[in-house]
């Protein structure tokens, strides 16, 4: 295992590493290769599932990732950490969702299924240009579920009140990422640095949204995208340009990483 990295650089995906079409530009792909050549470890740090980032990993050549908001980590095709949600707890969440007429999606390391199909479910997945999952309301009963996606527009508090066991990230108008309490992008970074014996190298983080705040607060050099929320910019050492305006490359150049 390579341990002579000069630093580790963590990237959110949506509205950060990806463009407005949820694609990796040639400029960004080249920058990732330059990072590697300069002995920096690029790491994807996302709320997305592993299966939702296969193309991104292939285009960028990044083989280290933190996914599902810190609930699953992988380096060089080896799992380093995963956090499974108890089946009985999911059953209780599904019962509340049914009462509220909400949707729920279930995430394993390799598959996604959803409780039901409706306009809100479609809107949530269309927003990030990913396929709408197959409907399978019983999928979670015999699978290792690491994250739930609560599909609703304004029922946040009902879940917060009933299920304090979770940490919640509303990352779109249509959905809330839901992981076991203690899991976050920051915790994912901690786990990764410890297991790869990189706790003494400088760390950099690029993000834009609510689930990036823990990462930006933890890394040595936090970078907020120009299109980011005010809280991300407030937590940043440097605010780069927007993801659609060379933000990744400008941020990396600011710190002389490429």
Task: Summarize pLDDT for 128-152 with one digit per residue, the tens.
Answer: 888 999 999 999 999 999 999 999 9
Residue ending a domain, choose from 135, 163, 180: 180
Distance of alpha carbon 151 from alpha carbon 32, whole angstroms: 33
Confidence of residue 171 (pLDDT cuts 50, 70, 90): confident
Same domain, 139 and 65: no
Distance of alpha carbon 161 from alpha carbon 138, whole angstroms: 25
- Whether the pLDDT of residue 215 is over 90: the answer is yes
pLDDT in tens, 6-30: 999 999 999 999 999 999 999 999 9
Number of domains the chain contains: 2
Query: What's residue 128's pLDDT?
Result: 87
CA 171 vs CA 23, 101, 175: distances in Å? 18, 20, 7
Distance of alpha carbon 103 from alpha carbon 58, whole angstroms: 31
Same domain, 171 and 194: no
Same domain, 76 and 144: no
CATH number of the domain to which 160 belongs: 3.30.1240.10
Residue percentage of the chain with pLDDT more than 70: 99
Query: What's residue 241's pLDDT?
Result: 99
HSE-CB of 92 using CA atoms within 13 angstroms: 12
Residue ending a domain, choose from 145, 164, 180: 180
pLDDT in tens, 199-210: 999 999 999 999
**91: containing domain:** 87-180
CATH number of the domain to which 26 belongs: 3.40.50.1000
Mean pLDDT of 229-253: 98
Same domain, 97 and 174: yes
202 and 7 in contact (C-beta within 8 Å)?
A: yes
Residue percentage of the chain with pLDDT more than 90: 96
Mean pLDDT of 247-252: 99
Query: What's residue 255's pLDDT?
Result: 99
Tell me the pTM.
0.89
Same domain, 103 and 152: yes
Same domain, 145 and 74: no
Query: What's residue 2's pLDDT?
Result: 57
Same domain, 121 and 201: no
Same domain, 107 and 46: no
Query: What's residue 143's pLDDT?
Result: 98
Same domain, 74 and 190: yes
Mean pLDDT of the chain: 96
Same domain, 236 and 170: no
pLDDT in tens, 34-85: 999 999 999 999 999 999 999 999 999 999 999 999 999 999 999 999 999 9
- Whether the pLDDT of residue 195 is over 80: the answer is yes
Indicate whether 2 belongs to any domain. no
Residue ending a domain, choose from 159, 180, 201: 180
Indicate whether 1 belongs to any domain. no
Same domain, 78 and 187: yes
Query: What's residue 1's pLDDT?
Result: 53
Q: Which residue did the predictor score with more confidence, 1 or 250?
A: 250
Indicate whether 38 belongs to any domain. yes
């Amino acid at each position: 295992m390579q341990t002579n990295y000069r630093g580790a650089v963590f990237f959110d995906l949506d509205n950060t590493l990806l463009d407005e079409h949820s694609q990796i530009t040639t400029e960004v792909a080249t920058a990732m290769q330059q990072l590697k050549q300069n002995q920096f470890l690029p790491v994807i740090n996302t709320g997305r599932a592993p299966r939702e980032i296969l193309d991104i990993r292939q285009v960028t050549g990044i083989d280290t990732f933190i996914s599902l908001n810190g609930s699953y980590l992988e380096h060089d095709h080896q799992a380093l950490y995963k956090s499974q949600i108890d089946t009985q707890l999911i059953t209780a969440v599904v019962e509340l969702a049914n009462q509220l007429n909400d949707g729920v999606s279930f995430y394993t390391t390799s598959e996604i299924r959803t409780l039901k199909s409706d306009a809100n479910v479609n809107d949530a997945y269309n927003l990030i240009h990913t396929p709408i999952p197959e409907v399978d309301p019983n999928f979670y009963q015999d699978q290792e579920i690491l994250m739930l996606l609560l599909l609703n527009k304004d029922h946040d508090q009902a879940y917060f009140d009933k299920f304090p066991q979770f940490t919640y990230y509303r990352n779109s108008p249509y959905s809330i990422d839901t992981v076991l309490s203690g899991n976050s992008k920051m915790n994912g970074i901690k786990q990764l640095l410890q297991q790869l014996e990189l706790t003494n190298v400088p760390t950099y983080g690029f993000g834009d949204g609510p689930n990036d705040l823990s990462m930006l607060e933890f890394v040595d050099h936090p970078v907020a995208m120009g299109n980011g929320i005010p809280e991300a910019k407030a937590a940043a050492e440097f605010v780069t340009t927007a993801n659609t305006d060379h933000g990744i490359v400008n941020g990396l150049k600011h710190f002389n990483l490429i």
